């Protein structure tokens, strides 16, 4: 346990020091206005499955799309009864990258929506992919690479990973381009991924220092506006290419991140705790039923009855006495103090929650 806390302190301090000492490129801190991806979605059919497809009685939409595809190919299946087990209805998703051009290719993700057991070895049939405006921007088709495996027998089965979802690398071809002209912009906004007035101010100063004049201005904690004509660059793309590698030292908020499922705790260097006293202990209530069967004496007129008998006890562990945390305590001192209490990581999570509820933890508390 002591090694765990020592490792946690070392990782947190080294991470905080490296973040403070090493500036970050501007492209890793902000998103440029208009330079963004667009989500695509499509509804399609996967064929070629080895008996692991949808049960058509439980998934009638699979039969509908299969009938529509066959009729478009000139096969008349009206009134026919067919129950294949090698097809599955799927949703196909992808992200159209910024400035994607017609003919380019993007990766797609395929996910079963019926009761198919696996998509291993399946092939996605030509599937149009729509954006939020309802227009078709790409068409997907190809062999699925599923991320799992499944084996079954008469007495049971085993599943590893998620065989009902997979990917098709470069599985969609771009058919329509997004109507966006970057070169027509005169003002370009830089949106900070983590809004902070200090960081935004440093970005403004760094850009103006790069050009030697006032070309950028901070609008708020999350936005810096760039005056493109004032940069005197040939185009907006040239201006972005010049500023995206400018390095800036970002300011980080004091934050405590807790993952309750794994018991992981990560704290930043700027976390501070006011003067507070901490105590931790456990109380266990144990109730045990031991019914007693009572029988009548031989050759007597009686009945056998069950007499309830309950043993109840309360066990209180010695616990940990009050430990005082001094005001303005730093990260390493917080960990050392909680480590001195001998608490486990999950007990430490409860203690940090209580300290936050008491108003003594001066940091953003994030629980996953």
| pLDDT tens track for 130-183 | 999 889 999 999 999 887 666 665 555 666 667 888 999 999 999 998 877 888
Question: Are residues 54 and 91 located together in one domain of the fold?
Answer: yes
Domain membership flag for residue 237: yes
- Token pair for residue 278? 């901490």
Report pLDDT for 255: 82
What is the tally of helices (H) and strands (E) in the chain? 7, 24
CA gap 121, 123 in Å, rounded: 7
Report pLDDT for 148: 63
Phi, psi of 66 (to 5 degrees): -65, -40
Residue 361 — left, alpha, or beta (φ > 0 → left; ψ -120 to 50 → alpha)? beta
Report residues of the chain scoring pLDDT below 70.
Answer: 1-21, 56-59, 77-83, 148-161, 276, 278-290, 299, 310-343
Pick the last residue of a domain from 174, 194, 220: 174
Question: Are residues 65 and 149 located together in one domain of the fold?
Answer: yes
| Pairing, β 364-367 against β 255-259 | parallel
Question: Are residues 77 and 144 located together in one domain of the fold?
Answer: yes
Domain membership flag for residue 264: yes
Pick the last residue of a domain from 229, 248, 267: 248
Identify which of 105, 115, 118 has the alpha carbon closest to the alpha carbon of residue 146: 118
Question: Are residues 287 and 350 located together in one domain of the fold?
Answer: yes
- What's 99's DSSP letter? T
Pick the last residue of a domain from 248, 283, 300: 248
Report pLDDT for 7: 45
Domain membership flag for residue 170: yes
Domain membership flag for residue 215: yes
Domain membership flag for residue 305: no
- What's 194's DSSP letter? S
CA 144 to chain centroid: 23
For 209-262, the three-class secondary structure string (H helix, E strand, C coil) is: HHHCCCCEEEEECCEEEEEHHHHCCCCHHHHHHHHCCCEECCCCCCEEEEECCC
Domain membership flag for residue 307: no
Task: Decide: 109 and 122 in contact? Cβ < 8 Å.
Answer: no
Report pLDDT for 1: 47
pTM for the complete prediction?
0.64
Task: Decide: 226 and 243 in contact? Cβ < 8 Å.
Answer: yes
Report pLDDT for 114: 83
DSSP notation for 252-305: ---EEEEETTTTEEEE-TT-EE-SEEEEE--EEEEEEE--EEE-PPTTSS---E
- Token pair for residue 2? 């002591």
Helix or strand (DSSP H, E) at 109: strand 105-112
Task: Decide: 46 and 92 in contact? Cβ < 8 Å.
Answer: no
| Domain region containing 264 | 1-22+252-292+316-368
Domain membership flag for residue 88: yes
For 121-160, the three-class secondary structure string (H helix, E strand, C coil) is: CCEEEEEEEECCCCCEEEEEEEECEEEEEEEECCCCEEEE
Task: Decide: 325 and 334 in contact? Cβ < 8 Å.
Answer: yes
Question: Are residues 70 and 120 located together in one domain of the fold?
Answer: yes
Burial of 115 (0-12, 13-18, 19+ CB in 10 A): middle
Question: Are residues 328 and 363 located together in one domain of the fold?
Answer: yes
Report pLDDT for 5: 47
Report pLDDT for 366: 82
Question: Are residues 44 and 136 located together in one domain of the fold?
Answer: yes
Domain membership flag for residue 360: yes
């Amino acid at each position: 346990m002591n090694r765990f806390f020592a490792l946690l302190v070392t990782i947190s301090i080294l991470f905080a020091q490296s973040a403070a000492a090493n500036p970050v490129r501007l492209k890793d801190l902000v998103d440029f206005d208009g330079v963004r991806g667009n989500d695509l979605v499509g509804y399609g059919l996967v064929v070629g499955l080895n008996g692991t497809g949808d049960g058509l009685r439980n998934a009638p939409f699979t039969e509908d799309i299969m009938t529509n595809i066959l009729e478009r190919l000139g096969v008349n299946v009206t009134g026919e009864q067919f129950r294949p087990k090698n097809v599955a209805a799927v949703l196909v998703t992808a992200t159209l990258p910024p400035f994607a051009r017609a003919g380019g290719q993007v990766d797609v993700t395929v996910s079963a929506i019926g009761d198919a057991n696996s998509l291993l070895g399946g092939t996605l049939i030509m599937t149009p992919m729509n954006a939020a405006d309802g227009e078709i921007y790409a068409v997907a088709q190809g062999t699925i690479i599923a991320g799992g495996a499944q084996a079954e027998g008469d007495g049971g089965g085993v599943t590893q990973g998620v065989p009902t979802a997979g990917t098709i690398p470069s599985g969609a071809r771009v058919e329509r381009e997004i109507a966006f002209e970057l070169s027509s912009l005169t003002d370009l906004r830089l949106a900070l991924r983590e809004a902070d007035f200090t960081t935004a101010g440093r970005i403004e100063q760094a850009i103006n220092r790069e050009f030697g004049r006032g070309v950028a201005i901070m609008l708020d904690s999350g936005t810096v506006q760039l005056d493109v004509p004032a940069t005197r660059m040939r185009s907006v793309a040239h201006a972005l290419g010049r500023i995206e590698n400018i390095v800036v030292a970002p300011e980080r908020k004091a934050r405590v991140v807790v993952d309750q499922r794994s018991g992981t705790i990560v704290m930043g260097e700027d976390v501070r705790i006011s003067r507070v006293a901490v105590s931790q202990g456990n109380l266990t209530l144990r109730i045990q039923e031991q019914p007693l069967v009572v029988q009548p004496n031989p050759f007597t007129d009686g009945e056998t009855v069950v007499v309830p008998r309950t043993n109840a006890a309360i066990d209180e562990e010695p616990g940990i006495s009050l430990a005082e945390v001094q005001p303005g305590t730093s990260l390493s001192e917080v960990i050392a103090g909680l480590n001195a209490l001998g608490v486990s990581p999950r007990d430490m999570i409860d203690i940090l929650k209580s300290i936050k509820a008491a108003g003594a933890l001066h940091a953003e508390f994030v629980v996953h």
